Structure 1
Amino acid sequence: MDLELRDKRVFVSGSSSGIGAGIARYLAAEGTQVVVHGRNTERLELVRSELAETGADVVAAPGDLATDEGAEHAASIALEAFGGIDILVNNAGGSSPDHRKSWFDLPLGEWSATYEMNVVAAGRLIHRFVPGMRERQWGRVIQISSAAGIIPTSGQPDYGPAKAAMINLSMGLSKALAATGITVNTVTPGMIMTEGLMNFLRAFAAKRGWGEDTDRAAEYVLKGCGQTVDRIGQVEDIAYAVAFLASPKGSFLNGVNLHVDGGGTQSIY
């Protein structure tokens, strides 16, 4: 299927690895002009050069979106390269590196930092790119949330609420941009095979005396996670969903929170 994305200008935040890199690869393959972004310039350059070797029109825009200066630096590179952005994918985020994940042990300043690197970071790019979309009467804004934003856990006092706010952000912004030609949606991944998940599976296997048998660990985790699809998701699963929402063919979806989680979110929505 031709998604009619050729020559659309895309900014994918947090695309120096993982889900973001997968989204950038897929959109580049659809013929878009892509801005890849990240804080680690070495990893960012690896993704940029990989896409460039496929013939993609790609630019690297480093910057820490948790600061005004970092966001402005990255956005300026994108605008100078392509003159505007048609599709903004707010994938950058994360949580506090503090290992004290108890609701009462994690310092409150870390809660603020997590909100800043997820929600406010998205807001900075929205402020920078969406006015141009309004002038052109076409655009797409897609937030990447997490199952943690829908199903609260006992051990994510900062991350889960921040990701829930991303879902709220999409719905509110979709209403603020009603009848402008811009749609705003969320993709909420479940368990996706990234470097972070692989590290978790290694630790899980080692803790149970299974050595490096990550397949056994994955099978065990799958049985207990509530999924109705019997496999771990791949970054391409998220990329497919983003590409459809970004395309003109997805124009009747607005304010949607699309769960791409193998049926793991057991709710009516």
Structure 2
Amino acid sequence: MNIDLTNKTAIVTGSTAGIGFAIAKGLAQAGATVVINGRTPAAVDKAVAAIRQAVSGATVRGVAADLGTAPGCEAFVKAEPSADILINNVGIFGPQDFFEIPDSEWTHFFEVNIMSGVRLSRAYAPGMIARQWGRIVFLSSESALNIPADMIHYGFTKTGYLALSRGLAKRLAGTGVTVNAVLPGPTLSDGVEAMLKDTAAKAGQSIEDAAAAFVKAHRSSSIIQRAATVEEVANMVVYVASPQASATTGAALRVDGGVVDTIA
């Protein structure tokens, strides 16, 4: 399958590292003009340079903006007023006991993990409709279905993305714009590598082996029995963003290694 996104502009939020960076790189490899996003100019510039170095002839630029705020989203849209592909990837997570999560933290998670996608989809979808082609992808998580007891606020936002993506797909029925959610499972992102670095060093393990041990201990239903790579998640997103995925919309597409124990 030859995915060609030449002449398409793709925005990937939260794309200076991890899954977001891998998605941006994959879209650039498919020929898209890619817009990198992060909160600081330094991080954005570093990611842009890394993709230019990795992908010969890549057309990539960046916009630094905090998309967890309405003014940040407004500034981003002002800088990039049009897009053919919108990947709503930016998100935050972190374990915290339900009884210790204050209202302010619930609001913060909602603003970053939900409202960033709402605001940007609302801004870019009309242009996609006018062009009769577009792709909107929400990065959810297997935690949307397997709500973590130690991250209820995080799981809540990822379940929210499933509702948002399905509802928006219906709203855009017949327009040529598809809307889907992608659900990664345990993934060996930069954040996970940092979390496991000390554990791996103490056990004399590679990061990959430490991640596999973590999956077996904490996501025992995993069928692949290891963490996915960021590239494996990105591959699914690039496909969903492609012309070849024109009949896929309103879907929740799992890249969870089989963690969610269901055939539906």
Q: TM-score range by the shorter chain?
A: over 0.9
CA positional deviation for 1:93: 1.0
2:136 and 2:122 map into 1 onto residues whose CA distance is: 11
The reply on whether 1:16 has 2:11 as its aligned counterpart is no
The reply on whether 1:127 has 2:122 as its aligned counterpart is yes
Q: Contact 2:213 / 2:226 at 8 angstroms: preserved in 1?
A: no
Q: Contact 2:87 / 2:137 at 8 angstroms: preserved in 1?
A: yes
Equivalent residue number for residue 86 of structure 2: 88
Which consecutive residues of structure 1, in runs of 5 or more, have no partner in the other structure? none
Equivalent residue number for residue 73 of structure 1: 75
Equivalent residue number for residue 253 of structure 1: 248
Q: Contact 1:38 / 1:64 at 8 angstroms: preserved in 2?
A: yes
Equivalent residue number for residue 220 of structure 1: 213
The reply on whether 1:181 has 2:176 as its aligned counterpart is yes
CA positional deviation for 1:216: 4.5
Equivalent residue number for residue 200 of structure 1: 195
CA positional deviation for 1:247: 0.8
2:91 and 2:67 map into 1 onto residues whose CA distance is: 9
Shifted more, 180-189 versus 211-220: the winner is: 211-220
User: What secondary structure, in the 3-state scheme, does the structure 1 residue paired with 2:203 have?
Assistant: coil
2:256 and 2:117 map into 1 onto residues whose CA distance is: 22
User: What secondary structure, in the 3-state scheme, does the structure 2 residue paired with 1:188 have?
Assistant: strand
Equivalent residue number for residue 63 of structure 1: 65
2:18 and 2:215 map into 1 onto residues whose CA distance is: 20
Residue type at the aligned position of 2:26: Y
Equivalent residue number for residue 38 of structure 1: 38
CA positional deviation for 1:186: 0.6
Superposition RMSD on alpha carbons, in Å?
A: 1.7
2:13 and 2:209 map into 1 onto residues whose CA distance is: 33
1:219 and 1:4 map into 2 onto residues whose CA distance is: 34
Change beyond 3 A, Cα 1:215–1:37: closer
CA positional deviation for 1:169: 0.5
Change beyond 3 A, Cα 1:37–1:265: same
Which consecutive residues of structure 2, in runs of 5 or more, have no partner in the other structure? none
Equivalent residue number for residue 203 of structure 2: 210
State the TM-score, normalizing by the size of structure 1.
0.91
Residue type at the aligned position of 2:65: G
CA positional deviation for 1:73: 1.4
CA positional deviation for 1:113: 0.7
State the TM-score, normalizing by the size of structure 2.
0.93
User: What secondary structure, in the 3-state scheme, does the structure 1 residue paired with 2:186 have?
Assistant: coil
Q: Contact 1:16 / 1:40 at 8 angstroms: preserved in 2?
A: no
Residue type at the aligned position of 1:221: F
Q: Provide the aligned length of Structure 1 versus Structure 2.
A: 260
2:189 and 2:109 map into 1 onto residues whose CA distance is: 20
Partner deviation per Cα, 1:108-136 (whole Å, 9 max, x = no partner) = 21011101101101111111111101111
The reply on whether 1:52 has 2:52 as its aligned counterpart is yes
